[in-house]
Amino acid sequence: MTALARRAFQPGELRRRAAAGDVKLWASLLILVWAAVFMIWQGLGFAISIGSVFAIWAILAVSLNLVVGYAGLLSVGHIGFFGIGAYAAAILTSNASYEQLRTEAIPTFAWPFFAALPVSIALVGVAAVVVGVVLNRFRDDIYVLVSFGFAIIAFNVFLNGRGLTRGAFGVHQIARPAIGGWELTGELEFLILLLVFLALTVAVSWLIVTSSFGRVLTAIREDEQAIEVFGYRATHYKLAIWVISAMLAGLAGALFASWTSFIDPNSFILLESVLLVSIVILGGLASIWGSLLGAMAFVLLEEGMRFLPFLPAEYVGQARQAVLGILLVLLMLFRPQGLVGRYRL
């Protein structure tokens, strides 16, 4: 931890910031207290479920923030890598005996989860290199549009590549991880696994953004041409962070597939990508803590709306999206840097 960060977390400094009405501190406190109260109110089972959803969104948000927040590349195609990771893990771990019962069987490998995981992440990395090389040719609005195109292409591959993904029928009975003979079938065990991977994601991201590599990314965000003049090949840095970010999204996808034990293309629609970008903006650009807060706020909002007494159950889904949309508009108007972010979009 840097001297600056140590000073920021000293009790005296926290009291001073709270008294001064520091928005970042109050936003953090509000969301943490909201989470604690909600989980205590709903009980352990619900808390575990919420914690798992949070961990997956948080891994995704932290990984996307590396690209959108630190490098300044607004991508709405991240959900494609999430999907590739999920499908790769699902196919590699698929059970041959189960698949033989299906009318439309997919290739089966029956690998253990922890063998399939690195291969899934590597496959996402390869896909990210291909997509990244194309994306590197574009900037700004065109970059967003091309990443949008990638999300649509990925969705259509998931939907129509039936020999590999079983299309709209989805992949069922995806294996849970096992350590030795111990299969992580329990929700609490899986939550712990998710939190371990979230911690690893945060650690890797923190190492990246505090290194000289991360400093170059920040500089690219501010002035790409200037960075070339100082001897850096901006396109290489952009491609590198894109691939790292995509691989972390692939990790989230593999964990998601195993956690839900079922995936279909509807889990990877463009709207999910937009929600993910919204989480990153809500938490704040170029802030790992912001991505964690954004993911937590989003999950609390999403799950919390189930319990609104005046809202019929059939409208909950649409209401969530409406509330998130309104929240984003308000943020853009009054706090464009998000809750704890460093930059404006």
Pick 193 or 286: Cβ nearer another protein: 286
Pick 46 or 232: Cβ nearer another protein: 232
Give the phi and the psi of residue 318 in degrees, each rounded to 5. Answer: -65, -40
Residue 62: count of CB within 10 angstroms of its CB: 30
Nearest-approach distance from CB 283 to another protein, in angstroms: 17
Tokens of 299: 């999950």
Pick 83 or 283: Cβ nearer another protein: 283
Pick 205 or 287: Cβ nearer another protein: 287
* Three-state helix/strand/coil letters over 269-310: CHHHHHHHHHHHHHHCECCHHHHHHHHHHHHHHHHHHHHCCC
Nearest-approach distance from CB 231 to another protein, in angstroms: 4
Pick 104 or 228: Cβ nearer another protein: 228
Q: How far apart are CA 154 and CA 264, in angstroms?
A: 12
The label of the residue with tokens 């909950």 reads 316
Pick 104 or 222: Cβ nearer another protein: 222
- Tell me the C-alpha to C-alpha distance, in Å, between residue 93 and each of 90, 106, 201, 268, 306: 5, 11, 23, 20, 34
Angle between helices 187-210 and 288-304 (to 10 degrees): 150
Nearest-approach distance from CB 226 to another protein, in angstroms: 5
Q: How far apart are CA 338 and CA 244, in angstroms?
A: 24
Q: Which residues bind another protein (CB under 8 A)?
A: 212, 215-216, 218-219, 221-223, 225-234, 286, 342-343
Query: Which residue, among 110, 42, 81, 102, has the nearest Cα to 299 in the 3D structure?
Result: 42
Nearest-approach distance from CB 345 to another protein, in angstroms: 15
The label of the residue with tokens 């840095």 reads 237
Nearest-approach distance from CB 24 to another protein, in angstroms: 16
Pick 103 or 225: Cβ nearer another protein: 225
Nearest-approach distance from CB 223 to another protein, in angstroms: 5
Tokens of 218: 């920040």
Nearest-approach distance from CB 225 to another protein, in angstroms: 7
Q: Mapping DSSP to helix (H, G, I), strand (E, B) and coil, where does residue 244 land? A: helix
Pick 139 or 162: Cβ nearer another protein: 139
* Three-state helix/strand/coil letters over 12-29: HHHHHHHHCCCHHHHHHH
Nearest-approach distance from CB 248 to another protein, in angstroms: 23
Is the distance from CB of 216 to CB of 237 less than 8 angstroms? yes
Q: Mapping DSSP to helix (H, G, I), strand (E, B) and coil, where does residue 51 land? A: helix
Give the phi and the psi of residue 328 in degrees, each rounded to 5. Answer: -65, -40
Nearest-approach distance from CB 28 to another protein, in angstroms: 21
Pick 248 or 286: Cβ nearer another protein: 286
Q: How far apart are CA 134 and CA 118, in angstroms?
A: 25
